[in-house]
Amino acid sequence: MKIWNGYGSEHSANLVMIGHFESADDARSVIEKLNMLREGAEADDADESNPSLFEAKRFSDQMLELLTKIKIYSLGASELGQFLYAIDWQCDGDKVVITTEECDVSAFLKVFLDEGARVEVFSPDVHKGSGYGRGE
């Protein structure tokens, strides 16, 4: 019998990212852009002719068109796979709140910064009383 000893990076982060925007309209606009990016990433992922989004070196023509349309210019092609993660976002007045168990959130940070947000990132497991933790 073999005993396998190994280490992996699979874990739960319980992460919250909050983008604070100038207005509720700005926050709603970011939600729309995030939804469009998720739909675009899902379409690219479903297209068998495209490489894995996590290994992509170039944008598909459709994604490049979408990024130009919504004026998001800082994302790298390999970051688009982050939109396939189990990540939830919601609008809360002039804030967009993202909750996830992933640590790889650079794509969301870049979208927030491109849209002029002040950004908080924290674990509600550590920062209790934030109102964003599990069961709070």
What would the pLDDT profile of 26-83 be if each residue is shown by its tens digit? 999 999 999 999 999 999 888 877 666 666 678 888 999 999 999 999 999 889 989 9
What would the pLDDT profile of 101-131 be if each residue is shown by its tens digit? 888 899 999 999 999 999 999 988 777 666 6
Is residue 84 within 8 A of residue 45, CB to CB? The reply is: yes
Quote the CA–CA distance of 116 and 114 in Å, as a whole number.
6
Question: What average pLDDT does range 72-97 have in this prediction?
Answer: 93
Helices 61-70 & 24-46 angle (0-180, nearest 10): 180
pLDDT for 11 equals 56
Question: So where are the chain's domains?
Answer: 15-122
CA nearest 87: which of 21, 29, 14?
14
Q: Locate tokens 């002719």: which residue?
A: 49
Going from the C-alpha of 89 to that of each of 14, 98, 120, the distances in angstroms are 14, 4, 14
pLDDT for 59 equals 86
Residues 6+ apart with CB under 8 A from 89: 31, 34, 96, 97, 98, 99
Which pTM value belongs to this model? Answer: 0.82
